[in-house]
Structure 1
Amino acid sequence: MNRSIASGVFSVVSAKVVVLVVTALSTPLLYRLLGASAFGEYAFLLSIFAIYMIFVSSGITDGVRKFLAEDRAAANWSEHVVGFYLRLAIVLSALGALLLVLATRFGVVGRAFGSDLTRYFYVLAALVVTAQFRDYARKTLMGFGLERYSEPLKILDKIGFVVVAVPLVYLGAGVIGALAGHLVASTLVAVIGLALVHRRVSLSCLFSRPTKRFPRKQMLTFNSMSIALVFLLMSLYHIDIVMLQHFRESAAVGNYKAALTLAEFLWFIPMALQTVFVHSTSELWSQNRFREISELASRTTRYTFLLTGVMAVGLAALADVAVPIYFGADAMPAITPLLLLLPGSLGFALARPVLAISQGKGMLRYPVAATGGAAMINLVLNVALIPRFGMHGAAIATSVGYGSMFVFHCWSARLVGFDPLSDARLGRSILTTVLAAVPIVALSTALTNPWLALAAVPPVGFVIFVTFALLVGALDPAEPFEVLSMFPDPLGAKADAIGSRLAAGGRERGERNWLHSLLFVAGLSLLVSGLTLGILGSGIQTVTP
């Protein structure tokens, strides 16, 4: 991972930390204020909206950041790309909003989803327009490599939503209040984002006409394949909620969404990598740096497995404690679905960066086929299991579908032209997870005081996990410092110096420098402990009546 990519990852991760904390505080508030049934309706509406927006925006957002990042010598390339996708964004958002209004007005929505939900779709129609320009502006900034602007906008979107939605819901506005929060926040972000884009490239490029050599056909082909890819991905995210709403009451949907929310916390780092890798690796592909791409992919796979693995083990060990404290006693039914979702969420976490690197090349037929295979497994299992087993069946089906993503995308990656397993050390990473799970679960079981368990298990479990990773060779002592060296100075410079000494010492003596490794483990464990206690403690204080 070169320093420019790491800098982008650092910007995205920093923003996602803030968004994660805000989400961790706001989600249980909304769950309690709305109640399980209304929260289930809200989750269902967002799922429908996400699927609908695939056809409105996915090809635009993926395309603009990919083609802006490519190293092309064509005259006024950036202006023409920005203008081309801005025209598409305007046309598709207008058509998307109009179609949703007409479908609602003439009863299509009522017949499909029930008359009780009809009024919400007028708000969703307005959200189509604001969300389109919010996402277009952010992805354009990312295409320019301006994550330092795009990621604060994501924070603003989340905070703006909470500031508007929570008071409205508290005052009795219900689901309409929550949707209004999204509408206001996305409008604000769209205005600011477009202003920032205008500073880089004048939005008057909307009216410019590129030459005949401009690759419109290539862009439109990429857009259509992106739409297919994102549709299949969104089916993995949302088909379970949509089907569960049909076969079970809204309260079951609300509890299942609570389980999904916790399971998706595992995607924190992988989603940041996926966000940055699409446009960052586009440049590597355009320069034919195939070996560097494989090295990046395989090392990322290993680090993602280790980081997500320790989070999954910790969340499983603390599920009985964390769920009722976090969402309230009414959410106890969410514990079992959460445990069922964790294995598949780990597999999906591994697939995310691999998929992003494949997208960076622009050869999407193999990623689409791989995602389609996982989506088909997910759909068939949901159809078979939800009518009989409800949200437990949904969790099993979704977990299997999620997990199959990694298998299929490893196959896809080799056809695209890189190997995500060349230095992944999957066997050692799995062994680390299994060995560490035993003492971590034992510690959680032994601590009967829930507050003591929340305070002790995350830092102690992290130390145990990293120690096993070092012992079995899933992680080399110098590697954490190599990763940290990619970050801005002074952290990057100090980590680089320590990592160089560790690597040199290993070559000279043929043994690991355990002192530095243990110091690193202790430091990171304190950091993880502080973050965990801060997030959980703040969330508990906020949601307690």
Structure 2
Amino acid sequence: MSGNNNIVSGAIVLMIGVVIELVLSFASKLVIARYIGRPDYGVVSLGISLLTMGGLVSMLGMNVGIARYLPRIESKAGKKGVLRSGLELSLLSSVILSSSIIIISNSFFQHAIHGELKQVLNICAIGIPLLVLMKMTIGGIQGTQKAVPKALIQNIVLPLTRFLLIGVALLFGLGSIGIASSYVVSYGIAAGVGLYFLWSLTPIFARQISFSSYRKKLFIFSAPLLVTSTMMALLIDIDTFLLGYYWSPNQVADYNIVYPLATLLQAPLMAFGFVFMPVISKLHSNNKYEKLKETYLDTSKWIMLVTLPLFLVLVSYPNLIITNTFGGKYLAGSPALIILSIGFYSNSVLGPNGNLVISIGDTKYIMISNLLATILNLILNVILIPIYNIEGAAIATTSSYVALNLLYSYKIFTDYRITSLTNQTILFQLFSIIIFIAISRWVTEPTVSGMLINLAVFSPLYGALMLNTNMLGRKEITIMKELYSRVELYVVNLL
């Protein structure tokens, strides 16, 4: 299959995995939020934010580095060198950071307002090396351009074990400490599965193959990504920490209910982006710039087509979605859900621009862009959160993501004259929004049944609009037919 077909094929596999992950992760958060109450959920959210932030920082950008280098190296010795070097550097960094956090936590949180805060932070700190190990194995798998193992590790094994362990923790009344432990252990299990796939797909553990260190090359490439990952960690989690500082765990809980709902909009971008980066990196190394441009535009279009309906639902029915999932006690987060949805939709609709800038090797620009976006986010959070609570955090996050994507889009437009915002895509989105609003206002009531009727009426009209505006053309139909044939063959062989 061609590069574009491979991207769609891999992305569909990952989308299935992402849907499974989202369902399981959503169920986990739903159970936690309903059964341990707002203050405990806020404490758990702070611990998870520490875990994810620590993991992003201590990876040093090595997971991206090995994903970029592996497709460009033919020899087994070279591939082993890249993998071993990346793992050694990132794991050492994660152990140092984990130990430092535990020492600081024991010193500064002796008399925390919430009794279990110190223990939760310590447990999550222990999980940082396990999270890093899992992410690094996924980076290595990404470099082999295999989609199924990644989907199995991150989208099935991790959320499934986490969900089961959370259930056990709640069953035995272990509270926030048990839930934090569930997250840590699930990362350990997923990391073990990731190591198995690295062993089977790469020569990382082949003793008979000698290898040279790639530490210097990886570090030179990934050093800007270290700053980038630190900035991205702050961009993602600083609002949670500041809400806990200025307000209370209750506000942290409200915000961490709506934030995951809004990030659903990034699922198509994540799925396509995982397969997109190694493909585009290879095209760039072979100087196939026209094919690179075509691949980027097609991928951006497909991401937008999948994301738009979900965006319309989130911004049109925030109260319904929150009430019928996490419960009415979290309805204060409805305005923040609308604001965050706008931010994450803009992040998706502009396409995998960050993946493209990384693929062409301009990590310095990535670093500067993330630094500027994080500074903007920090300033806006400090100004807005004390005044507007979680709405202020949502405005800060949305503004930062929009600014970051505009910087990425400016880079690829000035260097390659590529933009995902064509007249065709802008008009398509405008007409889709008008149709959805018209149906929701004149055909249905703002109830669950009304929302389902709205979607039932909108879906065929959305499909017809795609065909009539050539958003779904011969290329897409050909790819879908080929994918259908492959899935059919797979099912027949399975049976």
TM-score norm. by structure 2 comes to 0.90
Q: What is the CA–CA distance in structure 2 between the aligned matches of 1:488 and 1:60, rounded to whole Å? A: 36
Matching residue of 1:427:
426
Q: 1:12 to 1:244 in 2, by over 3 A?
A: same
For residue 221 of structure 1, report the CA deviation from its aligned partner. Answer: 1.6
Residue 86 of structure 1 contacts residue 206 of structure 1 at CA under 8 Å; is this kept in 2?
no
Matching residue of 1:262:
261
Q: What is the CA–CA distance in structure 2 between the aligned matches of 1:364 and 1:447, rounded to whole Å? A: 49
Q: What is the CA–CA distance in structure 2 between the aligned matches of 1:247 and 1:479, rounded to whole Å? A: 52
Task: List gaps (5 residues or longer) in structure 1.
Answer: 494-545
Matches within 5 A, 1:329-344: 329-344=328-343
Matching residue of 2:445:
447
Residue 66 of structure 1 contacts residue 360 of structure 1 at CA under 8 Å; is this kept in 2?
yes
Q: What is the CA–CA distance in structure 2 between the aligned matches of 1:241 and 1:104, rounded to whole Å? A: 17
Matches within 5 A, 1:85-484: 85-105=86-106, 107-108=107-108, 116-154=116-154, 155-204=156-205, 210-211=211-212, 216-351=215-350, 353-415=352-414, 417=416, 419-421=418-420, 425-442=424-441, 446-447=444-445, 450-471=447-468, 473=469, 475-478=471-474, 480-484=476-480
Q: What is the CA–CA distance in structure 2 between the aligned matches of 1:26 and 1:75, rounded to whole Å? A: 41
SS in 1 for 2:173: coil
Residue 63 of structure 1 contacts residue 219 of structure 1 at CA under 8 Å; is this kept in 2?
yes
For residue 272 of structure 1, report the CA deviation from its aligned partner. Answer: 0.9
The residue type equivalent to 1:458 in the other structure is L
The residue type equivalent to 1:163 in the other structure is L
Q: What is the CA–CA distance in structure 2 between the aligned matches of 1:270 and 1:187, rounded to whole Å? A: 26
Q: 1:193 to 1:146 in 2, by over 3 A?
A: same
The residue type equivalent to 1:175 in the other structure is S
Q: What is the CA–CA distance in structure 2 between the aligned matches of 1:15 and 1:58, rounded to whole Å? A: 26
Matching residue of 1:66:
68
Give the number of equivalent residue pairs: 486
Cα shift readout 1:141-197 (whole Å, capped 9, x = no counterpart):
221223222221121111000000122124321211111111221222222221222
Residue 282 of structure 1 contacts residue 360 of structure 1 at CA under 8 Å; is this kept in 2?
yes
Residue 227 of structure 2 contacts residue 367 of structure 2 at CA under 8 Å; is this kept in 1?
yes
Q: What is the CA–CA distance in structure 1 between the aligned matches of 2:311 and 2:169, rounded to whole Å? A: 34
The residue type equivalent to 1:475 in the other structure is M
Residue 302 of structure 1 contacts residue 424 of structure 1 at CA under 8 Å; is this kept in 2?
no
Matching residue of 1:520:
none
**Relative to structure 2, which stretch is displaced further, 88-97 or 147-156?**
88-97
Q: What is the CA–CA distance in structure 2 between the aligned matches of 1:207 and 1:239, rounded to whole Å? A: 46
For residue 487 of structure 1, report the CA deviation from its aligned partner. Answer: 2.8
**Relative to structure 2, which stretch is displaced further, 473-482 or 32-41?**
473-482
For residue 122 of structure 1, report the CA deviation from its aligned partner. Answer: 2.3
Residue 439 of structure 2 contacts residue 454 of structure 2 at CA under 8 Å; is this kept in 1?
yes
The residue type equivalent to 1:139 in the other structure is G
Residue 84 of structure 1 contacts residue 206 of structure 1 at CA under 8 Å; is this kept in 2?
no
Q: What is the CA–CA distance in structure 2 between the aligned matches of 1:325 and 1:176, rounded to whole Å? A: 27
Q: What is the CA–CA distance in structure 2 between the aligned matches of 1:299 and 1:356, rounded to whole Å? A: 14
For residue 109 of structure 1, report the CA deviation from its aligned partner. Answer: 5.4
For residue 108 of structure 1, report the CA deviation from its aligned partner. Answer: 4.1
Cα shift readout 1:439-458 (whole Å, capped 9, x = no counterpart):
243157x325x341243222
Q: 1:488 to 1:76 in 2, by over 3 A?
A: farther
Residue 59 of structure 2 contacts residue 91 of structure 2 at CA under 8 Å; is this kept in 1?
no
Matching residue of 1:487:
483
Matching residue of 2:78:
77
Q: What is the CA–CA distance in structure 2 between the aligned matches of 1:62 and 1:264, rounded to whole Å? A: 21
Q: 1:385 to 1:371 in 2, by over 3 A?
A: same
Q: 1:102 to 1:289 in 2, by over 3 A?
A: same
Q: What is the CA–CA distance in structure 2 between the aligned matches of 1:230 and 1:32, rounded to whole Å? A: 33
Q: 1:486 to 1:264 in 2, by over 3 A?
A: farther
Q: Percent identity?
A: 17
SS in 1 for 2:325: helix
**Relative to structure 2, which stretch is displaced further, 461-470 or 450-459?**
461-470
Q: What is the CA–CA distance in structure 1 between the aligned matches of 2:276 and 2:226, rounded to whole Å? A: 18
The residue type equivalent to 1:425 in the other structure is Q
Matching residue of 1:508:
none
Q: What is the CA–CA distance in structure 2 between the aligned matches of 1:44 and 1:388, rounded to whole Å? A: 21
Residue 112 of structure 2 contacts residue 118 of structure 2 at CA under 8 Å; is this kept in 1?
no
Task: List gaps (5 residues or longer) in structure 2.
Answer: 490-495
The residue type equivalent to 2:124 in the other structure is L
The residue type equivalent to 2:181 in the other structure is A
TM-score norm. by structure 1 comes to 0.82
For residue 49 of structure 1, report the CA deviation from its aligned partner. Answer: 2.1
RMSD of equivalent CA atoms:
2.7
The residue type equivalent to 1:148 in the other structure is V
Q: What is the CA–CA distance in structure 2 between the aligned matches of 1:115 and 1:22, rounded to whole Å? A: 29
Q: What is the CA–CA distance in structure 1 between the aligned matches of 2:14 and 2:151, rounded to whole Å? A: 6
The residue type equivalent to 1:361 in the other structure is I
Q: What is the CA–CA distance in structure 2 between the aligned matches of 1:318 and 1:464, rounded to whole Å? A: 20
Q: What is the CA–CA distance in structure 1 between the aligned matches of 2:257 and 2:289, rounded to whole Å? A: 41
Q: 1:86 to 1:234 in 2, by over 3 A?
A: closer
**Relative to structure 2, which stretch is displaced further, 412-421 or 311-320?**
412-421
Q: 1:470 to 1:3 in 2, by over 3 A?
A: closer
SS in 1 for 2:61: helix
